[in-house]
């Protein structure tokens, strides 16, 4: 048999018939980037006129329908007409329309005068009626959107099927980009533009027109803060507002407005932050009531009607409305933040800008619009002047003009013959030829010629304005003043200085009452009620266990637990349930999930860290450490602090020293003890210092095994161990009798 000839295996990647695999970067660039740019430029990010394409197409359609005047028409009619410019479907067009209406209350200055149910911006469940039921027309303020649009103020482009034209931008006569709130999410970027008061923005723009170097501080004085259609309150922080004005990025907090009716024992909410909704507020409030965190409230109801938003919180008899509102502000959307991101399309490129930069860009845009309008008017007036100058030529010999027209054989020769006879242009001759026979008289012609000087003056004035930047700016200022006078309104959102706001504390969310805290040497912790602490029942303890800490306090504070591994655990008193004297209590290492073989050696209830107070640590090697509480200050209340003190020797006791020195009893396993004042122990600057020797121990054996501050419960023999100098050898104890139950 002959050998079978081997052929080289062809690499599939080298097979020209297989599709070529492109790198992912090429695919992203060819397929994903066009989509991303389309969303950014044509969908989600507004341009300098303050509109996204969907808004612009809708409003321009309504303008062309003549809805600036006359009565309202059915919304379905408007939606249908808009589809000639916007092919994305009637549902999306109508949703866009809803937000622009007066009825939806989403805008400070609505663009659409509406009739019917259009839902509410502050409610996600209050649905708008179908377009066949509602009616709409343009609001009078839209005159400011389309001013000059018929004078070539902006560019026009063909619609999606090249059957109509639509404007690229609307020539708004005021900075609508900062008057109408705009939210949008594009690909890789987003925008969140809050609304400002129209009168304030007009004044701020006028200030910039007069002085382009107007400072941010000056703008802050004029344009005080954002203003929202829903009112409410802004917790005003000038520095944070300055940051937003400078960079276009930042956030501010808003609070609802409320009234308390003493007669009905009800709190009424009638204005909420722009970014909040009533359904979320009601649901969260109901949850707080169910879980017992809002015990002062019986019920929450929604009384929102045709007159506006109204939420009612029915309070219990002895409830404090201020405490209730603190809880609601801390836990619900009655207090909310608005995040600003002034991302705007400028000449097709998205840019994040501060307030002054946005206004300067709008001024640049508006100056272009005004120049185009003036040039349009200039051309029209020059054309008219040209025709009237031709008519003036006819005045020299009207009879000759009539004779030429009468004796010209062919109609098409009339205009050329007139032009030749009087040295006119074809347009001038055409204009004269079109004059009615009854008007070819000296009176008519003289009346028309009186406009020549007026036209020349107007043309000269327009030319001067086009050349003079100050005159152009003056024209803008006059327009802004007129807009402010016609449409300006008082601020709806009030400003409250942040210093006037009382920040709610966490302890308002649970019931406060007096209690007694007990910690045993074995690590069991009890929280007893007042009744339980006053009862004559003995405290149940583990066999051989003793109480090392006991304090009467309340349910508002924190408990610091100190362990033999130089760590501090922090818990709230409220985290522990009420115990009975007959119960052993919670085993702290398990309750707080401590490390293996870690034991509690002391605890202390505190409200806040007081730097002037101290912690006293007593170690197994007989040393003691006194350190300021300042060493434990932090911006946040940490649940666990490692390295709380030196770990050279196991910690035996931890005692909190307040305003006055404490008496500390220290006993060794060799039955020697000392009783000293805590101020004998030198203060160390660092919490991990080794400490000072307090009681002398034999070199080979002996250790501290018991520490307490409960001097009043020590036996008489232990009280004889008092020392005024350290270190001390200690006093031998023949008999120990402690009454720590």
Cis status, amide bond into 57, omega within 30 of 0: no
In 3D space, the residue among 102, 106, 105, 100 whose CA is nearest the CA of residue 82 turns out to be: 100
Size of the chain in residues: 741
Signed CA dihedral, 97, 102, 104, 108: sign only: positive
d(CA 632, CA 681): 19
Nearest to 373, CA basis, from 564, 207, 585, 154? 154
CB atoms within 10 A of CB 715: 13
The span from the CA of 224 to the CA of 201, in Å, is 10
Reply yes or no on whether 444 is catalytic. Answer: no
Helix H, strand E, coil C: the string for 638-700 is: CCEECCCCCCCCCEEEEEEECCCCCEEEEEECCCEEEEEEHHHCCEECCCCCCCEECECCCCC
| Residue 656 to residue 604: CA distance in whole angstroms | 7
β-pairing, 623-628 vs 524-529, is unpaired
The 3-class SS string of 541-556 reads CCCCCCEEEEEEEECC
What is d(CA 686, CA 692) in angstroms, rounded to the nearest whole number? 13
Name residue, tokens 């004059």: 435
Query: Which ranges in 504-623 belong to alpha helices (H)?
Result: 530-534, 588-591
Run of H or E including 288: helix 278-290
Q: Cβ neighbours of residue 239 under 8 Å, at least 6 residues apart?
A: none
Strand partners, 118: 128
Query: Closest by alpha carbon to 145, among 353, 366, 345, 348?
Result: 366
**DSSP state for residue 101 in the 8-state scheme:** B
| From 32, 35, 128, 133, active-site residue | 133
**From the DSSP assignment, how many helices (H) and strands (E) are in the chain?**
20, 34
104-130: b (≥16 Cβ within 10 Å) or e:
bbbbbbbbbbbbbbbbbbbbeebebee
| Cross-strand pairs, 600 | 563
Using CA atoms of 42, 48, 52, 55 in order, give the dihedral in degrees to the nearest 10: -140
* Catalytically annotated residues: 133
């Amino acid at each position: 048999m002959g050998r079978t000839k081997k052929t080289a295996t062809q690499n599939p990647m080298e097979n020209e018939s297989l599709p070529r695999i492109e790198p992912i970067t090429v695919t992203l660039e060819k397929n994903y980037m066009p989509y991303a740019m389309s969303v950014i430029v044509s969908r989600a990010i507004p341009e300098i006129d303050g509109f996204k394409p969907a808004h612009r197409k809708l409003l321009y359609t309504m303008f062309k329908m003549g809805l600036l005047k006359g009565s309202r028409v059915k919304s379905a009619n408007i939606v249908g007409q808009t589809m000639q410019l916007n092919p994305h479907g009637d549902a999306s067009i109508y949703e866009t329309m809803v937000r622009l209406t007066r009825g939806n209350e989403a805008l400070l200055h609505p663009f659409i005068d509406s009739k019917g149910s259009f839902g509410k911006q502050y409610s996600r469940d209050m649905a708008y009626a179908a377009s066949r039921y509602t009616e709409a027309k343009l609001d009078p303020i839209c005159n400011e959107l389309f001013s000059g649009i018929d004078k070539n103020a902006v560019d026009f482009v063909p619609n999606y099927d090249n059957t109509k034209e639509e404007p690229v931008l609307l020539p708004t006569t005021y900075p609508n980009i900062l008057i109408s709130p705009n939210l949008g999410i594009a690909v890789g970027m987003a925008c969140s533009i809050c609304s400002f008061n129209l009168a304030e923005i007009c004044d701020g723009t006028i200030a910039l027109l007069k002085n382009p170097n107007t400072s941010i501080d000056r703008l802050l004085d004029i344009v005080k803060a954002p203003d929202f259609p829903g009112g409410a309150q802004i917790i005003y922080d000038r520095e944070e507002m300055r940051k937003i004005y400078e960079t276009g990025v930042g956030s501010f907090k808003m609070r609802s407005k409320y009234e308390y009716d003493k007669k009905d024992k009800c709190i009424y909410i009638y204005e909420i932050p722009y970014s909040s909704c009533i359904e979320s507020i009601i649901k969260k409030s109901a949850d707080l009531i169910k879980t017992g965190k809002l015990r002062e409230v019986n019920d929450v109801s929604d009384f929102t009607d045709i007159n506006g938003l109204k939420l009612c919180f029915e309070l219990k008899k002895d409830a404090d409305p201020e405490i209730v509102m603190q809880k609601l502000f801390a836990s619900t959307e009655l207090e909310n933040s608005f995040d600003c991101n002034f991302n705007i399309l400028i000449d097709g490129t998205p840019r994040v800008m501060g307030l002054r930069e946005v206004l300067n860009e709008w001024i640049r845009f508006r100056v272009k619009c005004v120049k185009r309008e003036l040039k349009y008017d200039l051309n029209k007036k020059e054309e008219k002047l040209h025709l009237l100058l031709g008519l003036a030529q006819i005045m020299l010999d009207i009879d000759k003009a009539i004779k030429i027209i009468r004796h010209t054989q062919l109609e098409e020769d009339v205009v050329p013959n007139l032009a030749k006879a009087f040295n006119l242009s074809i347009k001038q001759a055409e204009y004269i030829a079109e004059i009615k026979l009854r008007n070819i008289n000296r009176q008519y012609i003289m009346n028309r010629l009186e406009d020549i000087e007026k036209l020349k003056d107007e043309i000269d004035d327009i030319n001067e304005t086009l050349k003079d930047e100050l005159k152009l700016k003056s024209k803008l200022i006059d327009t802004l003043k007129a807009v402010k006078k016609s449409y300006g309104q008082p601020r709806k959102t009030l400003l409250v200085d942040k210093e006037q706001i009382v920040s709610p504390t966490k302890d308002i969310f649970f019931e406060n009452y007096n209690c007694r805290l007990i910690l045993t040497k074995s690590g069991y912790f009890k929280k007893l009620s007042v009744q339980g602490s006053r009862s004559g029942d003995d405290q149940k303890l583990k066999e051989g266990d003793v109480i090392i800490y006991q304090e009467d306090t309340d349910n508002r504070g924190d408990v610091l637990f100190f362990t033999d591994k130089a760590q501090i655990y922090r818990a709230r008193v409220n985290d522990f349930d009420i115990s009975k004297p007959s119960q052993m209590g919670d085993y702290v290492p398990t309750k707080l999930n401590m490390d293996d073989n870690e034991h509690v050696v002391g605890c202390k209830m505190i409200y806040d860290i007081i730097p002037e107070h101290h912690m006293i640590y007593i170690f197994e090697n007989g040393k003691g450490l006194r350190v300021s509480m300042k060493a434990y200050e932090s911006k946040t209340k940490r649940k666990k602090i490692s390295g709380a003190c030196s770990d050279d020797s196991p910690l035996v006791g931890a005692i909190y020293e307040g305003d006055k020195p404490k008496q500390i009893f220290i006993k060794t396993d060799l039955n020697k003890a000392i009783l000293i004042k805590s101020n004998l122990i030198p203060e160390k600057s660092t919490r991990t210092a080794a400490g000072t020797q307090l009681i002398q121990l034999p070199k080979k054996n002996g250790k501290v095994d018991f520490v307490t501050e409960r001097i009043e419960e020590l036996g008489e023999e232990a009280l004889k161990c008092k020392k005024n100098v350290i270190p001390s050898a200690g006093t031998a104890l023949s008999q120990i009798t402690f009454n720590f139950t």
